[in-house]
Amino acid sequence: MVLPNGPESKYIETHGLRLHYLDWGSSHLPPMLLLHGLQDCAHLWDHFAAAMRNQYHVMALDHRGHGDSPWTDPEAYKLADYVAELKGLIEALDLKGLFLMGHSAGSKNAWIYIAENPGRVARLVITDMDPDSVNPGSKEMISRYKDESDEYDSLDVVVERLRDRARLASDDILRHHAEHMTRALPNGKLVWKRDRHVVTHYDRPDAWHYLPKVNVPTLIVRGSISTLLTGPVARRMNEEIPDCRLVELEGGHHWAHHEFPDQYEQAVREFLDN
């Protein structure tokens, strides 16, 4: 699936790497930066970015080891490395008054950046991510990633793999993601466009202590049946962040923003407009 008038691929040197990001144009508009989760890529924001591009200068980053950004030393796939490269990108592009949004691990990168670097971000959207050092839902997910193959026989197989995690997402969205998350191999198979070491070297330090330092209006969005960000944890996060609101997408899982894209967009717009 190809979206009309899609983004431009750009690269920027920061934190020792030439990182890839998608730029949806309109640089005169307020900047919005989108961060993907573990093993995903910038293109997984395409449908949301296309909907927001007339009001915001939308950009989406491929973190190191993901998508079209380079792989690096496995020991440099730690949380601190992702936060540092986010800082480098924001400073290199001189983004100010930024609307910063993340899904899953991208959300944690975002709120830690804000806590450590006040002044550049205007608002934050956290999408289905917890601050705990141990999470049963995350542990189960990562264990599966470690055991499964990176190669797929066809795009249809990739679509079904993605359907397993975003069960209510449309076929069009899943196929679009499958096309951008993989590349063709000489043997005709498809391979996931990420370094396997981002999984084996992923660290999960406790991040609760950063939340009271998030000094910008914040929206937390969770799928109501997500096993990664549970209701009790989300409500506690809502209390820890000084200016925060919480929205639940009914029936949604961890990738609820893909399962209910219209409701997700509406929740974000209402937050950004008020």
Q: What is the pLDDT along the chain (274 residues), one digit of tens a residue?
A: 445 689 999 999 998 899 999 999 999 999 999 999 999 999 999 999 999 999 999 999 999 999 999 999 999 999 999 999 999 999 999 999 999 999 999 999 999 999 999 999 999 999 999 999 988 766 677 777 777 888 999 999 999 999 999 999 999 999 999 999 999 999 999 999 999 999 888 899 999 999 999 999 999 999 999 999 999 999 999 999 999 999 999 999 999 999 999 999 999 999 999 8
pLDDT of residue 258: 98
* Beta strand spans in the chain (E): 8-14, 17-23, 31-35, 57-61, 98-103, 121-127, 151-152, 182-184, 190-192, 218-223, 244-249
What's residue 1's pLDDT?
45
Give the whole-angstrom CA distance, residue 177 versus residue 191: 13
Q: Greatest CA separation found in the chain?
A: 53
252: closest CA among 231, 224, 229? Answer: 224
Residues 223/129, Cβ–Cβ less than 8 Å: no
Residue 268 lies in a domain: yes
Say if 93 falls within a structural domain.
Answer: yes
Q: How far apart are CA 84 and CA 91, in angstroms?
A: 11
pLDDT at 147 (0 to 100): 75
Q: Which pLDDT value is given to residue 109?
A: 98
In a domain, 69, yes or no: yes
Query: Is the residue at 182 inside a domain?
Result: no
Q: Is residue 138 part of a domain?
A: no
The verdict on residue 142 lying in a domain is no
In a domain, 239, yes or no: yes
Q: Distance between CA 216 and CA 72 in Å, rounded?
A: 32
pLDDT at position 142, please? 72
Instruction: Dihedral sign for Cα 206, 194, 169, 101, please.
Output: positive
Tokens 């890529």 -> residue: 41
**Phi, psi dihedrals of residue 84, rounded to the nearest 5°:** -65, -40
In the DSSP assignment, the letter for residue 273 is H
DSSP 101-156: EEETHHHHHHHHHHHHSTTSEEEEEEES----S--HHHHHHHHHHHHS-SEESSHH
Token readout for 207 is: 């991040």
Residue 253 lies in a domain: yes
Domain count of the chain? 1
pLDDT at 227: 93
For residue 4, the model assigns a pLDDT of 65
Domain that holds residue 226: 8-133+205-273
pLDDT at 274: 86
Task: Kindly report the CATH number assigned to the domain that includes residue 102.
Answer: 3.40.50.1820
